Structure 1
Amino acid sequence: MTTSTSAQPLKRRVAFASYVDENYLPGFLTLLRSLALANPAVCEDFIVLYDDLRPVSVAKIRNLHPRIVLRRVHEETYAGFVKGDPHNYLVRKAYFILDVFRIRDYDTIITLDTDMVVLGDIGELLRMRSGLGAVAQLFHGQDKLNSGLLVIQREYLTDEFCERIDRTGRSGEYELDKHDQGILNAVLNGGFVRIDPRYNFVKRRLSGNQPVPEDTVILHFTGRHKPWNGGEKGYEQAEAAWHEHELTDAAFRERFFALDGPKHPDLVRHYGRQALRDGTVLSVAHQVAAACLEQGAFREAAEILGGFRIPVRRHGSNYLLGTALMAESRYAEAEARLLLAAADPGGAAKAFGKLSQLRWIVRDDAGAQRYALRGLAGDPTDRLCGIHQRRTAVPGASDDPGQPRAYSSAAPAGDPSEQLAHVAFYMDGQGNAGDKVLPDSVRLCFGRDNGPAAWHPEHVHRLFDRAALERVNQRRGLVIGGGGLFIPDTSPNGNSAWQWNAADEMIRRIEVPVAVFAVGYNNFEGQEYARTRFNESLCTLAERADFFGLRNNGSVRRVRELLPPSLRDKVVHQPCPTTVLRRLVPGWQDPARRADTVLINCAYDRAGLRFGHDYGHFLAQMAQAVRTLGEEAEVRYAAHAVTDEKFVFDLRREHGISMPVDPMYDWSTERILDEYARTRLVIGMRGHAGMIPFGCGTPIISLISHPKLGYFLADIERPEWGISVHERELAALLVERARGMLRAHQEAVADVHGRQELLWRITRRNMDLLGDLMKTPAG
């Protein structure tokens, strides 16, 4: 294999592209409407190549798509091309679409002629991964392509391929009357990927006024006569399909919002803002608010629905508004809305689950228990009600839920003045296994007693109120971490816009030393914070903190960019303690023998951000890898969360492969570490499915669907241990690297130990500083 690690995309970038001028603008506007109506869940950048569009025309285009990218064509490039009729302006402009090959920002570009209308699902085109795809010309068998639709992969978006196009154009050695299409056929000489004709179904197939076949995905009005210019006799049924999408903006929006099924939040918010300006109905406002909520725009969602009088019977809208208000920390208003939602039997359990969470967040355990029980009475299977019923069933236990710690002291709660306070995400039973291990790992850096005698817990998601502040100020220091706490949507709140539910005023009033310890900046690509509130909270925390350590240098860079220059140097690298577990766990011994197993883990939270259009490709590639690696060792599945098991279900359903599952979400910390220490190799997508086994001394390969995995591998100077989930040859590359580690296992383990030593030295240096700060011996 020769695949370059640096060339692997973190996220495969896909775009549509068309050349548009004033004459073909009506066709392009209809194309945009048809694309949204036939594929409402699809929203990628749409590149508009242009040379003479007026501002009013650009405004019309932008009105129909939220992600328009304007690119002026390089007209001079085509001036020297030999043409059939150099004085015909349409002939001159026919070459401008070739400018798409000069674009370098995308991995896949799908070009669409402006005389097309989209009638069906284009998912197959979005999933194409290789070659240059096109439909063969109607009258030329399979030898030549029709350039109205092209699916172009990155290997054709190169200077070398552009030079071939330019050389052919200047030479005139192509079918001159076919313009851009003639050049491409001359350059490719039949070397293109054949796409089914229904994706570029040319009008000429319907001569004699034949109906459009039901399976047609894209209808192409080739020829001189276009539907917006009067059309052509004998194609009335075909042109009716085009005119069906010739709509006013208001009629188009009405049809879009009436569609059933999923819609892309970018499209919903774009069209919804227009509809809201013009005055709209609650059902549309509900969709727009839901899209805002999905993308973390909680205040916008609350403002949209707050402008309506929502009837009690619309429990879904009341629930949505209550959720948005809760995410803005407007708890009293949120509770009122959620109680209205709970008045409808159909949504009562869900609303009571959210109400129990709200009361738990504001530290009312009795209220949380009461709401949870009411929800469970209606639906005993409701997960959120179950979580908060268990959290608050034992008085005083809800700050520190979850499984008993494997290395906790049995001592009772200690003297507050001798304790450290610890703000962390304390995982419940059947929660994420990595988050279960984290609090213990952080505490072990500060000493071997990680139990209640030495530590006072404060759950990061609970409101940091005056009582919590007083409890913290009674301790000898505050540790905040670890975990990817800098993320906007795990437990949204309006006080900080990240996971710690603490207002700036309360942070400033902390009197004891503060250590931000091994926190991660965990945004997915394309995921945003409530930027102003987050930046203000971040600055307040950085000003107050005596130590500010982030778990990887990628997080350090991202956070420094958000801080003023005076605070940037305070942010330093503190590796996640899970990466040095062998050095921390009392009495640790490396295994004398390892089981002949390979553990695989995949993550499914925020799956759209992880996989994009490539999940089917990823699953097929992993099926190949699992089959092949099964010849080397027993391949098992390590489920960090219940939702992780989707991989096993999909693999069996789609590819007939069954895998034994280790339900780590049900295991104790001790058992998780034991399993990871005894296996030979871990292939993981979750951050802690890499960091924990690495910390146990086990070789790892990371399936990268989030920047943080790449950050960690860069820190240990082993980027080759990571493979993007979008990698075209994922199976072959994964098998090659896994075999290398399995067949030279002792060397691989020694390499892990050596890399770990780098992180341990950083941790020891930081703990020496923190030991002086918090009057505690270094771990």
Structure 2
Amino acid sequence: MSTAPTESFQVRLTASRPPRHRRAIVFCCDQNYLAFASHAAAQIASLVEKPAYDICICYGQQAVVLPESLAGLGIRLCHIDVGDVFDGLRLDKGKTHDVYLRIALPTAFAGEYDKILYLGSDIFIQGGDFNALLDIDVAPHCIASVRDNVQWRTPNRQNKRNTIKGIVPSAYFNAGIMLMDVHAYTEQELMRRCIEFGRARRQDLKRHDQNLYNAVLQDDWAEISPVWNWQYSWSTRLFAVFAYPNIIHFIGPAKPWKDQSGQFEPRFADSFARFIRTHFPDSKQVETGGRKLAPDSMKMTKMLIKHLISARKIARFLPRFPDELTVHR
């Protein structure tokens, strides 16, 4: 067990095995999302024979149990105990302080990893060179991420759920995928700054740590290509066919494993269902109605119109990243 302090904050890490590399791809989840996190981990593991990174699944208050059938992936299970560090931060109804766990990752892994790629569990991996992504130099910043998709079309647009009273509007990133420079993150005391801001402005926050990161960093982050976090919504999903992103991120409450209306491509639910039947046979987490979106449905019509309106704006945004490893600092 190691203890990594950030001034008065104590974060304790207990892991199922020692680290094998100086870099890591990290998921944070509870047992409810373990199947989806491990599905993404298995997809990543299938991409390269000799990865230069560990794959970790981290949990906080609720322990997770990985099936023996997934032992071959070499996933490192990590318990991160933050004690009362997150007390005083805003929580949505039914949530625990584990929603802030990713804020503590660089502190927990300081001394073990130099780079951390945090990935949310609600994703689908289509490809990508993750070794190369983890090689990216984000200096002088401590985080590299993808701009929120509202700003793909209109760079200065501010989503009402993203804004905080008194904070100057700025470029805003989606925290579902983040590349973290551990040394810079800890040296700049980003965890402490986020927690202090979150406690002081608890009543003004409309999201969890995504709000905190953006309010505290205020443009002090590196921007990477949207192919690493294609925020899959009704206004971007058709463009994804041509961009063929490395990571599809199912933002919002609608998920392909709970798709009664048939709004998602069937391949997503099919992949999750096969994986869960094999490794989590007692789970009933994939529940779809078996429907497919009709070409003449109202939802499809609205989607086509939205894409037609957005096409030129998206066409201006995507060339900012001539390749998938382009970084804007």
Corresponding position of 2:223: 194
Q: Per-residue deviation at 1:250? A: 10
Paired AA for residue 74 in structure 1 = V
Distance 1:52 1:62, change over 3 A: farther
Q: Per-residue deviation at 1:67? A: 4.1
Distance 1:62 1:156, change over 3 A: farther
| 2:271 corresponds to which of 238, 244, 249 | 244
| 1:18 corresponds to which of 12, 20, 27 | 27
Q: Per-residue deviation at 1:251? A: 7.3
Q: Indicate the structure with greater helix content.
A: 1
Return the alpha-carbon distance in structure 1 between the equivalents of residues 268 and 201 of structure 2: 38
Distance 1:98 1:119, change over 3 A: same
Q: Does 1:38 align with 2:67?
A: no
Q: TM-score, normalised by structure 2?
A: 0.62
Residue 21 of structure 2 contacts residue 53 of structure 2 at CA under 8 Å; is this kept in 1?
no
CA distances 1:114-150 after superposition (whole Å, capped 9, x unpaired)? 1112111134412212231000001143701100110
Secondary structure of the 1:98 match is helix
Q: Does 1:220 align with 2:228?
A: no
Corresponding position of 2:195: 166
Return the alpha-carbon distance in structure 1 between the equivalents of residues 33 and 98 of structure 2: 11
Distance 1:163 1:205, change over 3 A: same
Q: Per-residue deviation at 1:54? A: 4.8
Residue 91 of structure 2 contacts residue 97 of structure 2 at CA under 8 Å; is this kept in 1?
no
Paired AA for residue 139 in structure 1 = V
Residue 48 of structure 1 contacts residue 69 of structure 1 at CA under 8 Å; is this kept in 2?
yes
Residue 48 of structure 1 contacts residue 70 of structure 1 at CA under 8 Å; is this kept in 2?
yes
Return the alpha-carbon distance in structure 2 between the equivalents of residues 182 and 189 of structure 1: 11
Corresponding position of 1:137: 148
Relative contact order (C-alpha < 8 Å, sep 6+): which is higher? 2
CA distances 1:731-752 after superposition (whole Å, capped 9, x unpaired)? xxxxxxxxxxxxxxxxxxxxxx
Q: Per-residue deviation at 1:170? A: 1.1
Return the alpha-carbon distance in structure 2 between the equivalents of residues 213 and 232 of structure 1: 26
Return the alpha-carbon distance in structure 1 between the equivalents of residues 40 and 26 of structure 2: 12
Q: Per-residue deviation at 1:209? A: 6.6
Q: Per-residue deviation at 1:235? A: 3.3
| 2:104 corresponds to which of 72, 79, 99 | 99
Residue 29 of structure 2 contacts residue 59 of structure 2 at CA under 8 Å; is this kept in 1?
yes
Distance 1:227 1:43, change over 3 A: farther
Residue 30 of structure 1 contacts residue 242 of structure 1 at CA under 8 Å; is this kept in 2?
no
Q: TM-score, normalised by structure 1?
A: 0.28
**Structure 2, gaps ≥5 residues long:** 1-19, 157-170, 280-329
Q: Per-residue deviation at 1:225? A: 2.4
**Higher Cα Rg: structure 1 or 2?**
1
Residue 117 of structure 1 contacts residue 242 of structure 1 at CA under 8 Å; is this kept in 2?
no
Secondary structure of the 1:15 match is strand
Return the alpha-carbon distance in structure 2 between the equivalents of residues 204 and 112 of structure 1: 18
Secondary structure of the 2:55 match is strand
Residue 30 of structure 1 contacts residue 245 of structure 1 at CA under 8 Å; is this kept in 2?
yes
Return the alpha-carbon distance in structure 1 between the equivalents of residues 175 and 144 of structure 2: 10
Q: Per-residue deviation at 1:188? A: 0.7
Q: Does 1:117 align with 2:144?
A: no
The percent of aligned pairs where both chains have the same amino acid is: 20
Residue 80 of structure 1 contacts residue 170 of structure 1 at CA under 8 Å; is this kept in 2?
yes
Q: Per-residue deviation at 1:80? A: 1.5
Aligned length: 237
Return the alpha-carbon distance in structure 2 between the equivalents of residues 20 and 84 of structure 1: 16
Q: Per-residue deviation at 1:64? A: 5.4
Residue 15 of structure 1 contacts residue 106 of structure 1 at CA under 8 Å; is this kept in 2?
yes
Secondary structure of the 1:150 match is strand
Corresponding position of 2:66: 58
Residue 145 of structure 2 contacts residue 177 of structure 2 at CA under 8 Å; is this kept in 1?
yes
| 1:79 corresponds to which of 77, 87, 90 | 87
Return the alpha-carbon distance in structure 2 between the equivalents of residues 64 and 235 of structure 1: 34
Paired AA for residue 120 in structure 1 = G
Return the alpha-carbon distance in structure 2 between the equivalents of residues 160 and 20 of structure 1: 24
Moved over 3 A (4+): 38-41, 52-55, 59-62, 205-214, 232-235, 245-252
Q: Indicate the structure with greater strand content.
A: 2
Return the alpha-carbon distance in structure 1 between the equivalents of residues 136 and 69 of structure 2: 27
Paired AA for residue 126 in structure 2 = L
Return the alpha-carbon distance in structure 2 between the equivalents of residues 117 and 149 of structure 1: 12
Paired AA for residue 116 in structure 2 = I
Paired AA for residue 253 in structure 2 = R
Corresponding position of 1:150: 178
CA distances 1:368-407 after superposition (whole Å, capped 9, x unpaired)? xxxxxxxxxxxxxxxxxxxxxxxxxxxxxxxxxxxxxxxx
Return the alpha-carbon distance in structure 2 between the equivalents of residues 191 and 172 of structure 1: 20
Residue 147 of structure 2 contacts residue 174 of structure 2 at CA under 8 Å; is this kept in 1?
yes
Distance 1:61 1:90, change over 3 A: farther
Q: Per-residue deviation at 1:214? A: 5.0
CA distances 1:719-766 after superposition (whole Å, capped 9, x unpaired)? xxxxxxxxxxxxxxxxxxxxxxxxxxxxxxxxxxxxxxxxxxxxxxxx
Q: Per-residue deviation at 1:66? A: 0.8
Residue 60 of structure 2 contacts residue 98 of structure 2 at CA under 8 Å; is this kept in 1?
no
Q: Per-residue deviation at 1:26? A: 2.0
Return the alpha-carbon distance in structure 1 between the equivalents of residues 120 and 69 of structure 2: 15
Q: Per-residue deviation at 1:194? A: 0.5
